[in-house]
Amino acid sequence: MSDFPETVGTQVPSIRPTPPAPELPLVPDQLTPLHGWGRANASRAHVASIDSVAGAVSALRQAESGGYAARGVTPRGLGRSYGDAAQNAGGTALDLTTLNRILHVDAEADPPTVDVQAGVSLDKLMKALLPFGLWVPVLPGTRQVTIGGAIAADVHGKNHHTEGSFGNHVRSLRLLVADGRVLDLSPDSADPDDNAAFWATVGGMGLTGVVLSAVLELKRAETAYFSVDTDRTADLDELMTAMATGDENYTYSVAWFDAVSTGKHLGRAVLTRGRAAKLADLPAKLRPRALEFKAPSFGTIPAIFPNRLVNKATGKAFSEFWYRKAPKHRVGEIQNITQFFHPLDIVSEWNRLYGPNGFLQYQFVVPFGAEDTFARCVELIATSGHVSCLNVLKRFGAANPGPLSFPTPGWTLAVDLPIEPGLDRLCDRLDEQVLSVGGRIYLAKDSRLSAATFRQMYPRLDDFMAVRRRLDPNAVFTSDLARRLDLV
C-alpha cells in the first residue's frame, strides 16, 4: 500500500538464522516492581526494554549467563493480564512495547493481512488500519493490549460465537525460542512439530518463547460504527434465554448483569448485541467521516482511593444506576468503537479505584447444558458479601486447537472482586462448581488458582508440556504464574 502511513515498513523475509547480538548489555542489575492489571501479587524483576530481534536474543543470552539466570525470562507487553502471567520474581522480564512497528499490509489479499511486530498495541493497529477500511477481527475489552499479549492469552471478544478467538486469525508468527533460534510457525504447517508449537504458543502465556511478530488476517469495514440493539432483562433466566435464542442473529453479543442484588432481581441485566454498521446505516452527518476512530479520554484515575471504595453500598448504587439508565428495548442505535467495545478505555488506570489492595477478576466458562451450575455460581457471588460491579456474560463458540486456549463452547462470566478477607474461600467454592461440570478458569485473569485444580481444568496440559519441553528443555521461559501452576 503506497499511501499507508509512515509506521509501515517493508515486508521482512522469513527469519531462521540467529541474528547478531548487540554488544551493550540490555538487562539491568536493578529490580523493578511489576504487577498485573489487578494490582495485586506484585513482584520485582530485571526489566529489559527490547526494540529489535537482535536485542531480544542478546537479553536472553545475558539473562542466561547472569546471576539471576535461575529465575528465567518472561515476555511482557502492556501489563493487561490481571494476575501474575507477565511477572518474574527475581528473574528477567522482556518489555516488548518498543518492538512496535507495523511491517507490511496487504490490502489486496483476500482476506487482507498485516505483518506486525509483537509490541504494537491493538489501539495503534486499529488507528492505522481503519482509514483504509481494514478492521481487526477480534477485540478484547481493552485496546491497550499488544499483539504478542493477544496471542499469548488467545484473547476473545464479544464475537467468539461467530468469529472465534484471536489465535483463529493468526496466519503465522515468529517465535524466539530458548536456544536463540527464531522459528516461523503456522497453523497450516505440514510439519507436525511446527503446527504443535504454533498452537502451544496461542494461549501459552509466553511459556514457549517470545513472539516477535505475526501475520494477522483482517476484515474489511465500511465504517467505524456499529448498529446495536439493547434489551433490559429482569433476571438471570430471562437473560440466558434471550442470549440462547437470539445471539446467532448478531455478530457481537455481551451482557452486563447485576451480581449484587439478590432475590427476584438476581442477574437482571443489560444485553447489548450488534453488527458492523454499513455506510447506509449511518446518519448523514457521520457519513463523510465514516471511518474516523473516536477515542475520547477523560484523563487518568489518580492513586488516591482507599480500599473498600467498592463495597455493598456503592455496589448497589452503581448496579441500580447502570440497570436503570439503559433502555428497556432499543433497536439500531449507532455506536462508535469506544461506546460499543471499550467504554473503560475512556479513563486511564481505572483499576486504581479498587485501592492499594487491588482486585481479582474471576473469569470462568461452563459448558452449555450446565446452566444450573452457572446459576449457582452467580448466587454464590451475590450472597457472599463480596461485591462485583463489573460483570460480563458472553457465550463461546467452538474451541480452537490451542491446548491452553481458554474459550470452549459454553457460558463465560467475568467478575471483578476487591481483594478482601475471605475472597479465597469464595473462589475455592466457585472452582469446585466450575470443575464439577468440566469448566475452566482463564489464565490471563487468574492470580490464585492451585496447580492441582489447574491440571484438572485443562485436560490437554500434557500436550502443551510436551511442546514446552521440546522448545525449552531447561525452562528458560518462566513466570510467577508458571511457578505457581507447576509449569517449570
Of the residues 221, 245, 270, the one at which a domain ends: 221
End-to-end CA distance of the chain: 44
Is residue 454 in a domain? no
Place of cell 457460558: 411
CATH number at residue 430: 3.30.70.2520
DSSP structural state of residue 8: B
Query: Is 10 exposed, middle or buried, given 0-12, 13-18 or 19+ CB atoms closer than 10 A?
Result: exposed
Determine contact, residues 72/88, Cβ cutoff 8 Å. yes
List b or e across 296-330, with b for residues whose CB sees 16 or more CB atoms inside 10 angstroms: eeeeeeeeeeeeeebeeeebeebbeebbeebeeee
Q: Other CB atoms closer than 10 Å to residue 390's CB: what's the count?
A: 18
Exposed, middle or buried: residue 179 (CB in 10 Å: 0-12, 13-18, 19+)?
middle
208 lies in the same domain as 239? no
Q: Give the whole-angstrom CA distance, residue 63 versus residue 33.
A: 18
DSSP reduced 3-state for 423: helix
Task: Report the CATH number that the domain containing residue 141 is assigned in CATH.
Answer: 3.30.465.10
48 closest CA partner among 64, 32, 35: 32
Output the pLDDT for position 298: 84
Q: Tell me, yes or no, whether 249 lies in a domain.
A: yes
The gap from C-alpha 225 to its chain's centroid, in whole angstroms, comes to 22
DSSP string across 358-374:
-EEEEEEEE-TT-HHHH
Over its length of 488 residues, how does the chain's per-residue pLDDT go in tens digits? 434 443 443 333 333 444 554 444 588 989 999 999 999 999 999 999 999 999 999 999 988 887 666 689 999 999 999 999 999 999 999 999 999 999 999 999 999 999 999 999 999 999 999 999 999 999 999 999 999 999 999 999 999 999 999 999 999 999 999 999 999 999 999 999 999 999 999 999 999 999 999 999 999 999 999 999 999 999 999 999 999 999 999 999 999 999 999 998 999 999 999 999 999 999 999 999 999 998 888 889 999 999 989 999 999 999 999 999 999 999 999 999 999 999 999 999 999 999 999 999 999 999 999 999 999 999 999 999 999 999 999 999 999 999 999 999 999 999 999 999 999 999 999 999 999 999 999 999 999 999 999 999 999 999 999 999 999 999 999 999 999 999 98
Query: What residues are paired with 252 via a beta bridge?
Result: 274
Q: Indicate whether 169 and 271 sit together in one domain.
A: no
191 and 231 within one domain: no
Same domain, 175 and 293: no
What is the spatial order of strands in the sheet that 182-185 belongs to? Answer: 102-106, 113-117, 210-217, 170-176, 182-185
* 310 assigned to some structural domain: yes
Residues 274 and 378 in one domain: yes
Tell me the three state secondary structure of residue 394.
Answer: strand
State whether 147 and 289 are in the same domain: no
Domain boundary residue, one of 221, 251, 271? 221
Kindly state whether residue 480 falls inside one of the protein's structural domains. Answer: no
476 in a structural domain = no
Given 221, 245, 260, the domain boundary residue is 221
Indicate whether 135 belongs to any domain. yes
Indicate if 241 and 313 belong to the same structural domain: yes
Please check whether residue 112 is in contact with residue 19, taking contact to mean a CB–CB distance below 8 angstroms. Answer: no
423-436 and 371-382 helices, crossing angle to 10°: 170
Residues 271 and 189 in one domain: no
Please indicate, yes or no, whether residues 143 and 247 belong to a single structural domain of this protein. no
Contacts of 249 (CB under 8 A, 6+ apart): 273
pLDDT at 6: 39
Q: Does 414 reside within a domain? A: yes
195 and 241 share one domain = no
Clarify whether residues 295 and 400 are in a common domain.
yes
The range of the structural domain enclosing residue 135 comes to: 102-221
For residues 156 and 254, membership in a common domain is answered with: no
Domain count along the chain: 2
Give DSSP secondary structure letters for 108-151: SSSS-EEEEETT-BHHHHHHHHGGGTEE-S---S-S--BHHHHH
Asked whether residue 391 is assigned to any structural domain, the reply reads yes
